[in-house]
Amino acid sequence: MSTETLEVVRLADYRPFPFAVEHVRLEVSLDPDRTKVRSTLRLRRTGPAGSDLVLDGEKLQLTRLSLNGRKVARDAYTIENGALTLPSAGPDDGGTFTLEIDTEIAPSANSELSGLYMSGGRFCTQCEAEGFRRITYFPDRPDVLAPYSVRIDAPGDYPYLLSNGNPVEAGALPSGGRFAEWVDPHPKPSYLFALVAGDFDTLEDVFTTASGRRVDLRIYVDKGDAARAAFAMDSLKHAMRWDEDVFGREYDLDVFQIVAVRDFNFGAMENKGLNIFNSAYVLADGDTATDADFEAIESIVAHEYFHNWTGNRITCRDWFQLCLKEGLTVFRDQEFTKAMRSPSVARIKEVIRLRSRQFAEDAGPLAHPVRPDAYARIDNLYTATVYEKGAELIRMLRLIVGEDAFFAGMNRYFDRFDGTAATIEDFIGSFQPSTNRDLAAFAKWYGQAGTPTVTARGEHDPARRAFRLTLSQLTAPTPGQPLKLAMVTPLKVALFARDGRKIEASLDGRPADEHIALLDGPTATFSFEGVAEAPLVSLNRGFSAPVRLSQTVSDEDRILLAGMDDDAFRQWEDIQELARGLVLSAASDPQERMDETRLDLFAEAARRAVERASDDPAYAALLLFVPSVSELVLDMPDADPDRLHRARCRVQAALGKKLSGVLTRAIEAIEPDRFDASARATGRRALKSTAMTLLSRLGADAERQIYEAFGRARTMTESLGALGALSNMEGDAFDRALAAFERRWKDAPLTMDKWFIVQATAVRGDIRERLSRLVARPDFDPRTPNRARAVFAAFSMSNPVAFHAPDGWGYRFLADAVIRLDTLNPALSARLASGFESWRRFDARRRQAAEIELNRLNAAGLSKNAEDIVQRALSK
């Protein structure tokens, strides 16, 4: 067992860096095996006299150090644990001094994909969170901001030499290579530095800002892929215009560039003016990309662009404030998606993602607040809690203060903190002048982990024509936080009469047909006046708060409300609750019995809901979604995923039988020859995929029908939908379809990733043999993050039935993968290890099997990244 104690960084220990970096000059001479970096820093002491200058470094070879032009003797500085310390550097009177640092690094040996590394024969960087220290010695922390000028020298094999900011000069070197000069005038932290060198195809365009400035747009991709970046370019231009129109934020450089690389640990990175993307989130066309890929590209391109203001122009003071840039920017990209697509469909998809990933995180040993007060490895806090829950906090803030006050506060935040490193307190304080609400009380959401459960109870008083709604909240203990505070929670409420009328009731003397019940204590009662009859209550409309809602409502009332509610989320939610109740009831029954009468009532209610949504096929497809096993696990003590899966399949089969005609027509519809990326066409294909999934639960009779649909498929969405449906059936059609898919796409790596994923997520009797074959294939390279995630992450995160096999095979498979990958890519291995996050929620046999593997990992001498996840998973 590991006995090393990981060093913990604490928010309470934050101290400003005692020096200001006024300018950074980088001169980089590229060579795969021996890149030379000269860093010239102009510094000024801002802290106490006599403070040591401590610069972060990792895996660097220092070749020269000079102070104000004079070489520093070896005994005048120290290097310990990677950090370079220069005692009492610089004058105490606040005058500037210059430090020149020469280092050498080997990008070709960098398999961790942090710092400067090689990808497909090209140079590429990833500096967030602490990668810049692998390029040169520097105060590698987000509160040290400086303007940069960069010179890149490279051999002739690298025609494109890119960095942050604006290009100022480029040309040939006497040696035969090339050079380029870039200047970024905007102060930025080191994690936003970027450098790319290589040969690419380019897609170019131009954007004219609201003030009339020209911005050159360029996307760099693999040779032959420029046409497949067209959707990403359109998404970028839409995002730039939307940010001007909605938030009043204009782009501030002469050029905006995106580079797509295959070897990347994340989705994308917002480096100032030079975004670097995983190629999966840039390249798309109707043949090779699904509709989900198009949606992800649109969202991620927007997200990284929006960081220009929420992350770059205003960055975070320290990594504890990570949610300040990520949660806020996720909120912005989600609002952008709603503007580009169906707002209701987009919101429901957000909720599905939140419940399946973040709610599980909040309920397990890896739970942490949106702003934690301590961490061991910052790389492990890029989580659903920071991103998705962080966005939900912004959405609640907007609801509490109101639309006008929200945008006034955003403008105040931009004006006050532009060019600085800010905190959550700075952000929340920007809204306080615009509201009489106590936002300090709301801000407690940032410091408390866990998902609150809100219990609702209603009582109608016919004599007073009043309805009293009593709400109470409770949050279960989480690691390090056994006692929980009551949160300020805004819940949208509407009341409906049984004849379908929306009731205009008065709350606190204000008549309206929709109200916000602001629950700001453990319990509160809200009295609605002018309610003549006992109403049906539509609560947490639009998912106004990220909570679990407990209401005692009969199936008949849910069905009635689902048929009249004008809130699309609540309609969907009532259908979900009916399905959830059926699955959980059957899974908890010793004989797994399901109430056939309730099942038929549910299926009929879903049929009528789909009929009402006939003009919105995307919404109709969501109405037929049955809560996932990963989500249902949170509702079942000592959960058994096999039982949940079997019960879920029966509910899906009931839907397939009840709607067989509608579903068959959806499957048989032929897509036009020319790919249509419109919302209507996307919805049509979503309904077709859902139809194939539901019909696959009816048994072998549907196999031929789905296999024929696979053969007719004209888009990747249809092909993957059919493959996924065939994976539910034990016949040989799945393997025949896989073989045909591989023959067509074997030379398209991004598309073949999907081929790996659909097998890793299949619930089949041969899943173990199938996974073993996949990782033995010559085209399975674990050094490529996309391919490793396509098997290991897809299996552990999206196949709970097989991963949580009672004999522990799935846990062993993942643990072996974590050990195998850890020496190559610690950040990736740590992400994979987080697949164990919910292990304590299962029955005793599964818990024992998972604990054995976690203890094996804890004794394996893993990297600090992976060790942090494992030790937290084991903690109680």
3-state DSSP of 212-254:
CCEEEEEEEECCCCHHHHHHHHHHHHHHHHHHHHHHCCCCCCC
The C-alpha angle 499, 502, 507, rounded to 5 degrees, equals: 135
Q: In whole angstroms, what is the distance from residue 40 CA to residue 49 CA? A: 23
pLDDT of 221: 98
Bridge partners (DSSP) of residue 314 are 310
Structure tokens at 220: 């760099």
- pLDDT averaged per 10 residues, the chain (length 876): 74 98 98 98 95 97 97 97 94 92 98 97 98 98 98 95 98 95 98 98 98 98 98 98 98 98 96 98 96 98 98 98 98 98 98 97 98 97 98 98 98 98 98 96 98 98 98 97 98 98 98 98 98 98 98 96 97 98 98 97 97 96 98 97 98 98 95 91 97 96 96 97 97 97 98 98 97 98 97 98 98 98 97 98 98 98 98 94
Instruction: Please tell me the distance from the alpha carbon of residue 223 to that of residue 283, in angstroms, as a whole number.
Output: 12
Tokens 């942050």, residue?
A: 164
- Predicted TM-score (pTM) above 0.85: yes
pLDDT at position 4 is: 56
Rounded CA separation 364/876 (Å): 10
Catalytic residue among 58, 304, 326, 573: 304
Region for 544 from its dihedrals, namely left if φ exceeds 0, alpha if ψ lies in -120 to 50, beta otherwise: alpha
d(CA 206, CA 610): 43
Q: Are the beta carbons of 813 and 833 closer than 8 angstroms?
A: no
Specify the pLDDT at position 188. Answer: 98
- CA gap 165, 500 in Å, rounded: 58
CA atoms within 13 A on the CB side of 269: 28
pLDDT recorded at residue 101: 98
Q: What are phi and psi of 400, to 5 degrees?
A: -70, -45
Long-range contacts of 501-506 (CB under 8 A, 24+ apart): 502/566, 503/530, 503/531, 503/535, 504/530, 505/467, 505/529, 505/530, 505/531, 506/530
Question: What pLDDT was estimated at residue 2?
Answer: 47
How far apart CA 342 and CA 298 sit, in angstroms, is: 14
Give yes or no: 304 in active site. Answer: yes
Report which of 207, 403, 201, 167 is spatially closest to residue 305, judged by C-alpha positions: 207
CA angle 692, 698, 702 (to 5 degrees): 55
Distance CA 384, CA 128 (A): 17
